[in-house]
Structure 1
Amino acid sequence: MRVLDITGPIRTGMWSYGDPLPSVEVEPIASLEAEGWKGHRLSLHTLAGTYIETADHLFADREQIADVPVNRFVNRAVVAQLKDKQPLEPITAAELIEATGADIRPGDALLVATGWERYWDDPRFITECPFFLPEAMEWVVSQNFSLLGLDIPCVQDPRNDDGVLNRLFFAEDRLLLAPLISLRGVGKGIFTLISLPLNIPGVCGTPCRAILIDQFSENMK
């Protein structure tokens, strides 16, 4: 059994979605030399690094992250390996259908690999990321996936992010997990996805640690 980490690193000065979100900072505030122990101050927000979020991100009075039963963060997951996407290249419904095949079931998690993680430390990670065409998101919604995971930071064209595709996805209280790394290394197939957020009441999402186990067990649901 392999356990595969698909979580991006959080560090000072990393990429950001911009205002009003603050910059991410990880700062040492206690040292072995001065205090005899180590400690750090974390300046984060709900969309820092790899995060998971609920429909409360866009819709009023939806479930918040601490309201979600913990078993919903454990999913049967299908990994769709698309070809390496270039900057601002769209993702089509046909690509997703071909990459998932007949393996999907209602309630699965869908993880989409585009190779975009190679830009994690590049300023273009946000501003030039690949994006879903409306037809691609409509197909995702029609398949009743419970969670969508991506190695891109946005589903919409970053040049015109009007939120329409996010609203289409979140309308039925699905979970979004993004952006991921290392999906290329896991290959294709069925996995167990575990993506555990921090238990912070009152927020729509938090950074999380996401892992894949390369076999699916019905007993884990």
Structure 2
Amino acid sequence: MIVELSHRIVAGMVTYPGVPGPVLGTHLSREESRQVYAPGTEFEIGTITLAANTGTYLDTPHHRYAGGADLSQVPIDRLADLPGLVVRATRRDGRRVLVDDRLDVRGRAVLIHTGWDRHFGTEDYLRDHPYLAPESARLLAERGAALVGIDSLNIDDTPPRGERPAHTILLAAGIPLVEHLTGLAALPDEGFRFHAAPPMVAGMGTFPVRAYAVV
């Protein structure tokens, strides 16, 4: 069974406050292509302008650190066919999500299920969201998680001009992040493989992904 874990990207959508929504266009319409190809043959070539942090997307170390690995440099085995582990956000200190230190996270994609994805596309999604406690980010880094994801606005708290400890800790350890996941309620706690590979764009630190799990 394949479980979809990504939000659809649609024109004008708001993913994060202040980040412009995507603009979809057409480079070659079907009508125009009839002048180029043989009779009865037509194509459409679309265009899209979007911020890299749109929809469900991956953060690489380059997103936080100038010298960190970018989209073209993170090994594919850190992004695809990873053994998965879902952390249910039942251990909460307010909005801070805590990870049980008894979990075996080494080499796994650790996906934090908060249920906040139910608000995606609404004003409620953009404020007062759950986030990973810094001490739990440090635990995941020290225990060797392969990737960390969350179904919330951000893996960190997002006050204006705030610090980003989870990004700082995890990306410094070379651990990619996937934010704005959805559908984690449909996954078992473990026993699945996680995939979230972006295009190999040199010099960029983030990009949308088609995240999914094979159960």
Which TM-score band applies after superposition, normalised by the shorter structure? 0.7 to 0.9
1:3 matches 2:31: no
Number of the residue aligned with 1:195: 196
Q: Please, which of 70, 79, 88 is the counterpart of residue 64 of structure 1?
A: 70
The aligned amino acid for 1:210 is A
* d(CA) in 1 for partners of 2:32, 2:94: 51
Q: Deviations over 1:60-104 (max 9, x none)?
A: 21111101222221211111223499xx941332xx218xx64x2
Number of the residue aligned with 1:27: 25
Number of the residue aligned with 1:40: 46
State the percentage of identical aligned residues: 20
RMSD of Structure 2 on Structure 1 (CA): 2.4
Specify every segment of 5 or more residues in structure 2 that has no aligned partner in the other structure, as ranges: 34-41
The aligned amino acid for 2:24 is V
Number of the residue aligned with 2:181: 180
Judge conservation of contact 1:84–1:116 (CA < 8 Å) in 2. no
Number of the residue aligned with 2:39: none
Where is the helix percentage greater, Structure 1 or Structure 2?
Answer: 1
* d(CA) in 1 for partners of 2:159, 2:119: 17
Number of the residue aligned with 1:80: 87
Number of the residue aligned with 1:90: 95
| 3-state secondary structure, aligned to 1:76 | strand
Deviation at 1:150, TM superposition (A): 0.7
Specify every segment of 5 or more residues in structure 1 that has no aligned partner in the other structure, as ranges: 215-221
Number of the residue aligned with 2:13: 14
Number of the residue aligned with 1:111: 111
**Alpha carbons of 1:77 and 1:32: their partners in 2 closer, same or farther (altered >3 Å)?**
same
Deviation at 1:125, TM superposition (A): 1.6
Number of the residue aligned with 1:147: 147
Greater Rg, structure 1 or structure 2? 2
| 3-state secondary structure, aligned to 2:100 | helix
* d(CA) in 1 for partners of 2:105, 2:49: 39
* d(CA) in 2 for partners of 1:131, 1:71: 26
* d(CA) in 1 for partners of 2:211, 2:166: 23
Number of the residue aligned with 1:123: 123
The aligned amino acid for 2:97 is T
Judge conservation of contact 1:141–1:168 (CA < 8 Å) in 2. yes
Judge conservation of contact 2:86–2:189 (CA < 8 Å) in 1. yes
Judge conservation of contact 2:28–2:44 (CA < 8 Å) in 1. yes
Number of the residue aligned with 1:209: 210
